Structure 1
């Protein structure tokens, strides 16, 4: 590493923890990846914890003239979040927020995810204006820095238009809070020259009417090409000019440390409809008329776009029929309307239906308020991008460009764009977009592995730039930001005068040019075809990954090691190095690092697949890599499966022994001894915690239970191996093991319980599957299937499994005519209707397990818990606990990282938490400070049999 960086690191270590100053080449590759089709590897990554650290780091980089780039979620598509120098990312400590003025404003730090901001505002009937498609992943810092918009946002509700104020850190480390009078006054004194320069720049625009009018014209369209020059004609106060120039500046002018938005109304009454027209001309004429109404969103989809999703589940039947009939001219509009009340929505729906019918649609799905129908319609639109990504050839990447045309010229522009696809042989390319703003996205696949492919892409982009910026005077980047991708074309779009203004703005803010160089302004006319990201084949399980990062917010290891996107990036590099044999030492280093960073710390929950546009489950790859066992390990796994009863008996003995030592030594000494033993073993021994369960003892039906014998029904109860072995913790509120509580509850509800034969030998196979022994897992599953088939009278009786992971795996792997339930759904359907519930006053925490989220049970879990307690707290930012079977014991740092936000969210008067996974509950108890247990304990505690039955 060059000397300036060594000097920088030495300085940074004075104030910043060494583990947050990252130089490891595997991690810089992984953490430096973003959603664009460019690849730069940082020399240094800083994970900064607070504003003081940002100021300190920026001053150090400024003094040494070292380039700095800021990264939020890394979902940017144009290459603006990459660096081959210093990349600054933010820790989870940048997620603070405050609701202001009854929800009319919201103060946000840059680490807050956009959808989280809207969730905070939902009780007030408000939302932030920007609504990018990546809102479930992208963060406020990126939304503001890119002036991201979206489907309903248009140009009236983006960050520029809804900005109330912000805190900025400039290149030299100066901090300005534009909402603090004292900060503003101090800044006016210390940076008077800068403010004078901005005032003079604005005056020069107003003194040049043609230039001023050009600027106004450009921003009647969606436009994120270059800097926000509209600030120079919209405002006179240099502080207002400064903060509005920061919007859309992509980190090239400074760092946005927080932002306050003026929020917008989130209408409760909504409806959506889909309308297909004979050709693009008719479609665009309809758009022109719709733009004159109060419609909320109009999404255009061309014929190729419709064809790309024709075979997807849930699509309207006529979409496939259009393709079958060879209709290559049709185009569709997906229209959404909002209103303040029900009559207003009906009135608007009727008026718009009459308007649209005037353009003779050939197929329609009329306006509907049904959430399921609306979700289906928007599924058409949201399926377009992944539809292209899923069918691309291995080794290619998916490129999505976004441009804007004047609405009145939309039809010929689309025609000419389609002709360019044909000319440059992008036959898979599709067009869709936010038609009200003339904003079109086009998606195509591209390889960058040969000079010929790069040349083709370069020529195509030259042609697109001319078509959009010159022929139609449109925007080359409507909402995705300029980045590196369009930097060479900024002058083409804006002309020499506009480009000169941008160069002056850059010099005023960043005289030494250290802030994100090469982004927005770039003197290299070929910058857009350099540093291109290779996408080599790695494994069919992940080859479709487009590195968008949508998976990251739900990954339990995201703050510990790698995310699914990063795992895929590193594994691709491993496979490339294996094939090329170009650097054996580098390969050995990255393979060694990946074992822990990638394989060992992956919880393999599958939540990533739920968020992935192309349904990739990176956990499947990690399990596959774990399956590379020795013959001895495979033999041992088979032996334990064949002797499962004996193995679990030994487990119970071990739990009893640990509990005895706990009683003898006390919690503190026991914890210290466990940590010492684990350290001496090289972290091979599992870590004991005070919440380690006691042995559950032998399964027996508790005495004293009275079962109503009249007309009782049978159910099958399969206590999981976890609940058969693991009892409660030492000082539990209710010492009964879970199977006793379950039998008690079923007795209250009047059920006769059937227990499968050879119970202690039975297992769903989960322990073997998670450790990479799929054949052994399958064998145990088949054994359980036979037992349940017999116990359920050949599938006639429902089966209750008392932990959600076992129930979920069994539903996926056992025969479909077995009806299997996890605890919450079973209680909701079979138990609560037979009981009198008296909800308790004491608050409870509820943990929704990752498998329950995947199976769509979150709502059921919340409903059941709220029926049993008057106050239920579901913690934010915890999608998975990270216990992952036994990783809470073997890799406890994964569990600790995933649950790091939990303890602070437990109310002071709360003493109990509930879930539906015994192992998860151990980690939840450890990291919350309260006892977590199965929801069946709570239901049993607050319920009584219905009187008279």
Structure 2
């Protein structure tokens, strides 16, 4: 670390805990990486939790001339969220929100994820205006800082247009809340000269007819290149000008501590159509006609884009036969009522009825069908990423043209792709705004590759600006990527004005310097990110960060994206041999940061654009690290019946000791023993299970008049009973059998059940042979018990169900408990729902099994108030990690208690998850089967 930063770090230690000051090489590299194709490694990463910390940080940085870069989610694409100085991350303190005026306004802290804001607003049929493709990962701070828009947002509903208020920290540490008249008055008093200068610049801009006309012309299109100069034209009050300048400023003018939005209506009724045209020209003519109709979104996809996804499930067969000059529009319209929707569909269809289409125009209102269309549209970017050559990156550029010249612009872009040899490049975009994205793959490892990229970008800039007077950045933000081209797009006067604004609001140039404005004409060619081959399991990763919100270790150690970043660096160091000491240190540190604290839950694969399950990489690494334990793993697999019996004995002894010592003394004793062992002993908590009652292996008496089901209790439910003091002391197997019989089923247990295991305990540790052997044994037991698949199988634990569904003979009809209950039991039982609220936890395996809707429906039968805690995904217990690495479980569930403390109980579908949920929530979590059994009674059902 450079001496200046070492001294600055000492200052930070006076007001920020050491745990939130990161300087080690592994994490600074990991945390410093964003979704762009640039890389800078920060000297220090700081996690801030409050406005006061930010104020102090900015003041200290200003005094020491230390640059700061604020990071939200790191999903930005243009290099605006990286630094080689101090990177500032947002902690939990930035996740708050406040609804106002019946949800017509919402005040959001910058750490709130965009999709989370929309879930908060959904009960009011409202949403925020911006809708970027990254909304499930992008945070409000980044959405506003980049003025991100999206497919339905256009220019009318972006952050600039829907801004209501802002809490803002200036470069000198001053905090102002523009919604608070007292705060605004104080700002006018303390910063009168600054506001007067803003007022002067605005008046000069408005009186300069050429400059004013230039600004008004530029914002006819989507435009995020440079600063929001339209603020100087649209507003006269310098406070309004100030807060609107912050939108799209990429953290270079101040820190947005809260953004207040005017929300927009979210119409419940939707219809979509995928309309193909044999000629691009006709397609673009349709765009111009549709602009005057009640459409919500019109997305253009060129022939290369269609070709990249034409084999995807759900896309019409005729797409494959389209000619080379074809293009398509994905059109959506939304309405408050079905009747209004029907009228709108008719108007849209009529507007383009005279144009020849490749197939008859047809709208669908089926959510599954139109959801598939939009999923395909969103998959265009990753479609290129999935087929890219290892070692190359995927670049997505973002330009805007006048709509009336769209066909001409697309044609000329294709000509540039041919000129610079980018045959895989494809174009899609928000056609109503003339906003096109083009995607291509790029290597940066040779001078020729770099020259080719430089040539393409120079030609694109000349095409967009010189030929069409369009926008070089329509919605992705300027960043480092387009900073050298801002003057080309805007002209000298506007560019000079932007520098004046930067120097006025950040005179020390400490806020994200070099981003958005940069006098280095080649900055876009510097600090390019390497993507070396690391492992075929993750080589397709494009480091977008979409995986991060779903990862339980995201606030403890590393996220899936960051694990891949470090594993790539390890692979690079191994291949180059350049720094053996650094390699050894990184490998050692990665063991905890990357491997030990990875839950391996696979939720990352559900949000990854190219379907990467980083847990597979973790299991692969564990397999290599645990290679010497293969014989032990196989011995345990061969003697699994003894293992389960021993486990029950240990739980029985632990519970007896708990009963003698009491909770507090038991915690002190076991905690001390764990510390003495160097954390090798498992952690005990009051939520530790008692021993489950042994399941009788004999099949109950046959009743030929009742439907039969084979019940497969997991090893967890066979060994772990409820904790001491639970609402119901029966084992899960006892309750499940009673519920099934209540619903009219005859329950059959497989023979040899004591030794059965799905293989997951071995699989998760990378002991693949032992895992496969146990899965095959279970398969044989189930084939025998079901008569080669004649009977259904009920599996009571969702992680085991997921594991087995991926392994078993297809003749075996295995149902997870949720699927079986939803499909067969609800209609065979009568329910008396509870009045008190019940917390519902959807496990990672249930999410991957697509059971969220079913679980909520089942819970609704049992309680009139079902609470699904926000931002709680995978609990991080991960089989046994809640015992061996309890900090992972604690971090994943750190916000749980506050959100469920008003609930009487919690339900889930995994016995091990329920241990951690109970411990960290303070309420009793158990299988949803307990709740079903308690709230239901048998009805007369004909067999």
TM-score (norm 2): 0.99
**Of residues 565, 579, 583 in structure 2, which corresponds to 1:583?**
579
Which residue does 1:171 correspond to in 2? 171
DSSP-derived class of the 2:721 partner: coil
> Structure 1 residue 911 and structure 2 residue 907: aligned?
no
In structure 2, runs of 5+ residues without a counterpart are: none
| Distance (Å, rounded) in 1 between the aligned partners of 2:206 and 2:747 | 83
| Distance (Å, rounded) in 2 between the aligned partners of 1:351 and 1:106 | 34
> Structure 1 residue 360 and structure 2 residue 360: aligned?
no
Which residue does 2:277 correspond to in 1? 277
| Distance (Å, rounded) in 1 between the aligned partners of 2:551 and 2:799 | 17
- Cα gap change, 1:548/1:630 in structure 2, threshold over 3 Å: closer, same or farther? closer
Which residue does 2:799 correspond to in 1? 805
> Structure 1 residue 425 and structure 2 residue 418: aligned?
no
Q: Deviations over 1:817-838 (max 9, x none)?
A: 1111122221222222222211
- Cα gap change, 1:501/1:922 in structure 2, threshold over 3 Å: closer, same or farther? same
Contact 2:901 2:923 in 1 (8 A): no
- 1:313 CA displacement: 2.2
> Structure 1 residue 926 and structure 2 residue 922: aligned?
no
Moved over 6 A (4+): none
| Distance (Å, rounded) in 2 between the aligned partners of 1:365 and 1:753 | 53
Contact 1:107 1:261 in 2 (8 A): yes
Q: How do 1:30-69 and structure 2 match up within 5 A?
A: 30-69=30-69
Which residue does 1:712 correspond to in 2? 706
| Distance (Å, rounded) in 1 between the aligned partners of 2:936 and 2:228 | 62
- 1:12 CA displacement: 1.3
| Distance (Å, rounded) in 1 between the aligned partners of 2:671 and 2:33 | 35
| Distance (Å, rounded) in 2 between the aligned partners of 1:741 and 1:412 | 68
Which residue does 2:568 correspond to in 1? 572
> Structure 1 residue 756 and structure 2 residue 750: aligned?
yes
Q: How do 1:741-752 and structure 2 match up within 5 A?
A: 741-752=735-746
Which residue does 1:770 correspond to in 2? 764
Q: What is the number of equivalent residue pairs in this alignment? A: 942
Which residue does 1:832 correspond to in 2? 826
- 1:321 CA displacement: 2.2
> Structure 1 residue 637 and structure 2 residue 636: aligned?
no
Contact 1:700 1:740 in 2 (8 A): no
> Structure 1 residue 85 and structure 2 residue 102: aligned?
no
**Of residues 493, 513, 517 in structure 1, which corresponds to 2:489?**
493
Contact 1:114 1:139 in 2 (8 A): yes
DSSP-derived class of the 1:132 partner: coil
Which residue does 1:884 correspond to in 2? 878
- 1:912 CA displacement: 1.2
Contact 2:293 2:347 in 1 (8 A): no
| Distance (Å, rounded) in 2 between the aligned partners of 1:421 and 1:698 | 68
- 1:309 CA displacement: 0.7
| Distance (Å, rounded) in 1 between the aligned partners of 2:767 and 2:546 | 29
Contact 1:702 1:740 in 2 (8 A): no
Q: Deviations over 1:885-912 (max 9, x none)?
A: 111111111111111111001143x221
**Of residues 524, 529, 543 in structure 2, which corresponds to 1:528?**
524
DSSP-derived class of the 1:182 partner: helix
| Higher alpha-carbon deviation: 421-430 or 647-656 | 647-656
Q: CA RMSD in A?
A: 1.4
Q: How do 1:200-349 and structure 2 match up within 5 A?
A: 200-322=200-322, 327-349=323-345
- Cα gap change, 1:282/1:365 in structure 2, threshold over 3 Å: closer, same or farther? closer
| Distance (Å, rounded) in 2 between the aligned partners of 1:673 and 1:271 | 63
Contact 1:708 1:750 in 2 (8 A): no
- 1:811 CA displacement: 1.1
| Distance (Å, rounded) in 2 between the aligned partners of 1:733 and 1:340 | 45
DSSP-derived class of the 2:62 partner: helix
Q: How do 1:121-200 and structure 2 match up within 5 A?
A: 121-200=121-200
Contact 1:405 1:413 in 2 (8 A): yes
- Cα gap change, 1:702/1:259 in structure 2, threshold over 3 Å: closer, same or farther? farther
- Cα gap change, 1:585/1:659 in structure 2, threshold over 3 Å: closer, same or farther? same
Q: Deviations over 1:514-554 (max 9, x none)?
A: 11011010010000000000110101011110000000000
| Distance (Å, rounded) in 2 between the aligned partners of 1:882 and 1:126 | 33
Q: Deviations over 1:601-633 (max 9, x none)?
A: 111111111101111111100000000145541
**Of residues 883, 892, 896 in structure 2, which corresponds to 1:898?**
892
Contact 2:775 2:808 in 1 (8 A): yes
DSSP-derived class of the 1:102 partner: coil
TM-score (norm 1): 0.98
| Distance (Å, rounded) in 1 between the aligned partners of 2:940 and 2:836 | 25
Which residue does 1:854 correspond to in 2? 848
> Structure 1 residue 940 and structure 2 residue 933: aligned?
yes
Contact 2:697 2:750 in 1 (8 A): no
Which residue does 2:866 correspond to in 1? 872
- 1:380 CA displacement: 2.5
DSSP-derived class of the 1:431 partner: strand
| Distance (Å, rounded) in 1 between the aligned partners of 2:676 and 2:340 | 71
| Distance (Å, rounded) in 2 between the aligned partners of 1:914 and 1:312 | 37
| Distance (Å, rounded) in 2 between the aligned partners of 1:591 and 1:573 | 10
- 1:176 CA displacement: 1.1
> Structure 1 residue 649 and structure 2 residue 645: aligned?
yes
Contact 1:701 1:743 in 2 (8 A): no
DSSP-derived class of the 2:439 partner: strand
